[in-house]
Structure 1
């Protein structure tokens, strides 16, 4: 026995049957409660839990605002696209304008150059004609028809006798002539048979310089072999020819219409 057993406050109280029964019942009840709880939990775990979330319903005002926002976004996109197209068109137009300006300047420069060249040629041609007329006047001033003799004098007399007759294309006399018809008829008077047309008459004799003309020489206009007009040099810087329908057969100075060349057949 413990040495403190005689002290009452240190004695353990006895468990009565009632207490033991209560504990047993309690334990049993606890076990049953735990079993019941476990069974309930197992049953709950076997069935899926479904939870429903309620979303807010769009009101008419909110739907209208959403639609307006979408329209505004679409309009902004369209405006950006339109502005981009305008910018691209403006850039293209500026590039084309620059190209057109450069081409216009190039054409203007080319036209100016062509005009200057034409003016230079015209001036040179005028100077050449002036020199040619001066040379013809100087070279023929000492030549006189009175010095022509024989066949040349007869040719000169014939053409001078026709001055005032009409000019008719293809005319061979006796009162109307074309240029080559008159020349052919004049030389026929002295037994020289010339070709009918100007082109052939311009190569019928010996080519002579315009600065060394003699009465009776045949003058031609155009190239030798491709002449378009002929006449007869009569001396003193003068020629006789069937010029055109408005003048007929005339006697004119060489400066009136300077010839291209001359041939001598006598």
Structure 2
């Protein structure tokens, strides 16, 4: 037996092939895991890189978003302003319509009041005219005595000739026309306007008003009238009414607004005097 036979050996025992293979497999698995993790690392980092870049994209869109918001706000303001303007216009239109209706109502009321006042004035004028004629006749009768009051006007039926005939024809042609204060024709007259136009038809220029016409020409008696003579009511120079004697005890005159232009008998309203122009 060798003297070294009982001395244990200090060398490490050899590992079996199976253990070596196991260790190699473990090591390979770890390395594979590391390799897989290393390979997976860049793929997982990509979203992180994109996430970091998002603020830059968002900041780039902010002015556009702000501009869009500002435009939307301006549109809203414009719509609100338009709504206020439309409401104001509608209110103004309603006020204008109401004011127009009120103005029309007042105008109609004024027109009716004026028409009523005119009718009252015409009625008063006619009443005053008749009263004045009565008073004038009474005064004239008293001043001239009983002989003058008993005399009767001419009832001559002789036909007018020449200019007188033309004047009479003109006057008769106007019978039925309206009486209008200040009227000078062709379809409405006052008393002196009719007389002036009748004489104007034969080229004779008479004064415009009754007072002047009652002294234009020669004074004649009511008992010696001829067709074409101017009849007047009141005193010569202050007459308030005139007409044209047309013969046959008749006269034509623009009397008043109620009767218009008429042909009447002298007995209807006896004149106080007459003048002869022809």
TM-score w.r.t. the length of structure 1 is 0.49
TM-score w.r.t. the length of structure 2 is 0.47
- Larger radius of gyration between Structure 1 and Structure 2: 1
